[in-house]
Structure 1
Amino acid sequence: MRIGELAAAGGVTAKTVRYYETLGLLAPPHRLANGYREYSADAVDRLRFVRDAQAAGLTLAEAGSILALKDQGRGTCHHTRELLERHLEEIDRQIDSLLAARAELTALSRRADSLDPADCTDANRCQVLGLDIPVGSNV
């Protein structure tokens, strides 16, 4: 099959297929006499794997590391599990950070609710944030 057919079967663009080739995620295809790329049916499965790995949150490099192990005839379950665990830990860190930011913003919002705007008379200070406003600021 040609590059456009592969791209359509894999749900990506031809440009993406060429990019994956440059990264080594797809093997270089057989070239016809006219220079056209010709792919095997296996390329579709490999392309879909890369696409699905990305959708699951893996990077292209991580997807490539799994494919490299498979190409060597090695098992990938342990390696894939480690990758997924790292991503889960990162998501947990992001959630913790977002929850802390949410708590801070909630506290500031409650502080704003309790303040009287008429008391906001200092041009160099924000009473809600409790911060000095830099001189020359347009705030």
Structure 2
Amino acid sequence: MMAELTIGKLAEAAKVHIETIRYYQRRGLLDEPAKPPGGHRRYSAEQAKRVRFIKRAQALGFTLAEVGTLLTLDEVCACTETRALAAHKLELIDQKMAELVAMRQVLGGLVQQCDAGDSGADCPIIDVLVGA
């Protein structure tokens, strides 16, 4: 028989806060075991693995809704669909990176303008933000 864990031990095993466990339960990502009369809910080691799965997926940029989809796909061993979801996420990350590079270039240019300008003139950053 697998060792059963209290919510505190589950959180410790998965390296998350107890409130994270409760939040995942409210979002439907993690089952909440029945509470025995006068006792504490007991979680399995498999549930700790599930929480770690959720956290790793989030670290890769997946939203909790997407994590829910990944968990469903895992249950039916749908590798093709999982790959498609991951490929889409990769495209979104590439887009975001391109946007960040463009933002960095614009801000870098504005900072250089500030550095090169005289302190009595209007601020080029404020001028751009105001739309001047």
Matches within 5 A, 1:79-94: 79-94=81-96
SS of residue matched to 1:31: coil
**The structure with more helix, counted as a fraction of residues:** 2
Query: 1:100 maps to which residue?
Result: 102
Taking structure 1 as reference, are residues 34 and 57 closer, same or farther at Cα in structure 2, changes over 3 Å only?
Answer: same
Taking structure 1 as reference, are residues 46 and 119 closer, same or farther at Cα in structure 2, changes over 3 Å only?
Answer: closer
TM-score normalised over the length of structure 2: 0.74
Query: 1:62 maps to which residue?
Result: 66
Query: 1:53 maps to which residue?
Result: 57
Say which of 9, 12, 21 aligns to 1:8: 12
Q: Following the alignment from structure 1 to structure 2, what is the Cα–Cα distance between the partners of residues 37 and 60?
A: 24
Taking structure 1 as reference, are residues 114 and 24 closer, same or farther at Cα in structure 2, changes over 3 Å only?
Answer: closer
Aligned length: 126
Identity of aligned residues (%): 38
SS of residue matched to 1:24: coil
Query: 1:22 maps to which residue?
Result: 26
Q: Any stretches of 5+ residues in structure 1 without a counterpart?
A: 121-125, 135-139
Q: Any stretches of 5+ residues in structure 2 without a counterpart?
A: none
Q: Which amino acid aligns with 1:104?
A: V
Larger Rg: 1
Q: CA deviation at 1:6?
A: 0.7
Q: Following the alignment from structure 2 to structure 1, what is the Cα–Cα distance between the partners of residues 94 and 129?
A: 34
TM-score normalised over the length of structure 1: 0.71
